[in-house]
């Protein structure tokens, strides 16, 4: 592991792609984590990069990615660009030997995700993926219930995620999230990856999966209707439905066991519900102001050698494999 992870060393981060996701969700988390400092940011629009740096009190800004990646005063790179560029930039960061965290999904395909993973592994450089739900207290509580056998032997999981077409979808205005060249699965790529990755964390790896995907609405080039079934190595069965042209938004996950069930939402900050022979327990566990805070803090803990980050191994690559299998790309 690089020497710059010593306890006395401040790790200087650069953000590659300081867009909306970095404003509140992630950027401030790096500034609030002890031993971390955002030293520079990059955005192709130099005016917007300068504005971001000024508002967040960051010393430097760039409009060229290579300038940030090769800055000798930067120890680590957080790649927060659209997923179609993750492979290109990820390999560049690996080549210069810097610590890296990449926004989810790791890449739009299993092949590219694997190549990123192998590039960092070959140099023994820490690589993290921003599947931050693995570190959120509400989902850690669900894992505690499962580990404590609160619902008995685990049987199945199901997830239904639907929403209606947005005004942007209906207008035909460009949106990279629904551009098949950037995100082949559309909103599925952006949203379902969070849940499927979390299911691997909660229930163990998925070993078999299949699905159907199509574009029902014709509003954009990416897929908008997906259904799938899968099997975890533990024997737990799973099924999911994701439709982005439905009447209303719904986000419901149920994990069933031999003695009860756990119900929760992936994206809504609703109570998590445990139902078993002892009755029903409903807990509301609020997210931190900066939702990636615990994720970033856990990056620091791994770099200090204190604990393993839950999304710093092959798991993000496996999530990309699951997504590709569902979309029929493998």
**Ordered structural domains, the chain, with CATH:** 11-131 (3.40.50.720), 137-287 (3.30.360.10)
For 160-202, the pLDDT digits (tens) are: 999 999 999 999 999 999 999 989 999 999 999 999 999 999 9
Percent of the chain with pLDDT over 90: 95
* Predicted pLDDT at 8: 58
Phi, psi of 160 (to 5 degrees): -120, 120
- In which element (H, E) is residue 87 found? helix 86-96
- Distance (Å, whole) CA 145 – CA 161: 23
10 vs 18: CA distance, rounded Å: 21
Residue 4: pLDDT band with limits 50, 70, 90 = very low
Average pLDDT on 123-143 reads 98
User: pLDDT digit string (tens) for 51-93?
Assistant: 999 999 999 999 999 999 999 999 999 999 999 999 999 999 9
CA angle 159–161–165, rounded 5-degree value: 165
Q: In sequence order, what E strands does the chain have? A: 11-16, 36-42, 60-62, 76-79, 99-102, 127-129, 154-162, 206-214, 225-232, 237-243, 250-257, 260-264, 272-276, 279-283
How far apart, in whole angstroms, are the C-alpha atoms of residue 49 and residue 260?
Answer: 51
* CA proximity to 120, closest of 97, 149, 151, 152: 97
Residue that is written with structure tokens 């000024």 in the block = 54
> pLDDT tens digit string along 247-299?
999 999 999 999 999 999 999 989 999 999 999 999 999 999 999 999 999 99
Using alpha carbons only, how large is the chain's radius of gyration in Å? 20
Structure tokens at 41: 């940011």
Taking residues 309-313, report their average pLDDT.
93
Token output for 322? 């699951």
Residue 5 has pLDDT above 90, yes or no: no
What is the pTM for the complete model shown?
Answer: 0.94
Q: Taking a C-beta distance cutoff of 8 angstroms, is the pair 322, 315 a contact?
A: no
- What pLDDT, on the 0 to 100 scale, is given for residue 168? 96
């Amino acid at each position: 592991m690089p020497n710059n992870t010593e306890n006395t060393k401040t790790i200087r981060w650069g953000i590659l792609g300081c867009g909306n996701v970095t404003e509140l969700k992630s950027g401030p988390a790096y500034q609030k984590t002890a031993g971390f400092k955002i030293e520079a940011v990059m955005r192709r629009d130099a005016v917007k990069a300068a504005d971001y740096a000024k508002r967040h009190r960051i010393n430097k800004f760039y409009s060229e990615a290579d300038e940030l990646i090769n800055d000798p005063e930067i120890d680590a790179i957080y790649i927060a660009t659209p997923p179609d560029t993750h492979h290109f930039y990820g390999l560049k960061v690996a080549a210069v030997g810097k610590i890296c965290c990449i926004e989810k999904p790791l890449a739009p395909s299993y092949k590219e995700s694997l190549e990123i993973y192998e590039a960092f592994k070959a140099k023994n450089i820490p690589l993290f993926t921003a599947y931050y739900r693995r570190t959120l207290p509400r989902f850690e509580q669900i894992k505690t219930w499962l580990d404590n056998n609160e619902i008995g032997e685990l049987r199945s999981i199901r997830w239904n995620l639907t929403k209606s077409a947005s005004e942007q979808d209906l207008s035909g205005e460009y949106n990279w999230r629904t551009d098949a060249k950037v995100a082949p699965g559309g909103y599925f790529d952006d949203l379902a990856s969070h849940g499927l990755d979390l299911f691997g964390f909660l229930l163990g790896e998925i070993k078999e999966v299949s699905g159907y995907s199509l574009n029902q609405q014709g509003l954009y080039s990416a897929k908008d209707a997906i259904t799938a079934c899968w099997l975890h190595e533990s024997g737990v069965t799973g099924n999911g439905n994701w439709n982005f042209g439905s009447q209303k938004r719904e986000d419901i996950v149920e994990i069933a066991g031999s003695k009860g069930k756990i119900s929760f939402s992936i994206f809504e900050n609703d109570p998590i519900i445990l139902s078993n022979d002892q009755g029903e327990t409903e807990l509301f566990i609020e997210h931190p102001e900066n939702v990636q805070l615990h994720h970033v803090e856990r990056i620091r803990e791994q770099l200090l050698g204190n604990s393993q980050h839950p999304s710093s191994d092959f798991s993000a690559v496996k999530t990309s494999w699951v997504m590709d299998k569902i979309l029929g790309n493998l």
